[in-house]
Amino acid sequence: MNLDLAFVLDFLRRLAANNNTAWMQEHRADYLRARGTFAALVAEVLRRATPAIPGLAGLTPAQAMFRLHKNDRSQTDPEPYKRRLGAGLVPGGRHALRAGYFLALMPGGGSWLRAGRFTPTPAELAAIRQEIHYDGAGFHRAIEDPGLLQHFPSGLDRSAEQLTRPPRGYQASDPDLAFLRLKSFGVVRLLADEEVLAPDFIDRAVAGMLAARPWVDFLNGALDA
């Protein structure tokens, strides 16, 4: 499928240098073109991935794509727009309280493919931690799977904010304490611009999603329990 992802990256590069409402209004046609191309990318990824991940059936790009406009700007943040276009390929849509797959384009090597549950609620955190505690073997099978690590070599992302003490109800001697302290549960692969522009980019993105499916299923099994 021939998508002009170079134009999308170029638009986002220009937006990063001119992140203000006046510039966006002047270049709205470019924004619509970039967003339309990204929507076509999301649609194609969904088309190819859904046969193996049936939970994504019926999900549309409109349900998956995040807004470019920031919703949570602080008073010290002068930029009204994100520097990326992103989508949450999650059963029920981007804001569903489920684990899923996330694709974003951002120039300069900031594009990514992610899989997991990155902003769990306190109840979800409790459920995931309980599942790790009860089924440590299943947890390790999921995060140490060779297929997963082929696409996400860094494994489970442990760089995000985490507890400094054991969660309430867990012992400091728990063998999985390092994972129980996490507040986010996901794997991440950053993508160079050259990877995004390669002819096999969609194939590789879908392959990464399929490799991460057992991990996502483990998390959703915890959330469904």
Q: Please report the pLDDT score of residue 64 as a whole number.
A: 98
pLDDT over threshold 90, residue 161: no
Model confidence pLDDT, tens digit, residues 99-142 = 999 999 999 999 999 999 998 999 999 999 999 999 999 999 99
Radius of gyration (Cα) for the chain, nearest Å? 18
Kindly state the average pLDDT of the residues 132-153. Answer: 97
In angstroms, how far is CA 81 from the centroid of its own chain?
A: 19
Q: How many helices (H) and strands (E) does the chain have?
A: 10, 4
Q: Please report the pLDDT score of residue 73 as a whole number.
A: 58
Model confidence pLDDT, tens digit, residues 12-51 = 999 999 999 999 999 999 999 999 999 999 999 999 999 9
| % of the chain exceeding 70 in pLDDT | 98
Q: Which residue has the tokens 């692969």?
A: 189
pLDDT over threshold 90, residue 55: yes
Task: State the Cα–Cα distance between residues 42 and 3, nearest whole angstrom.
Answer: 11
pLDDT averaged over every residue in the chain: 95
| % of the chain exceeding 90 in pLDDT | 92
Q: State pTM to two decimals.
A: 0.94
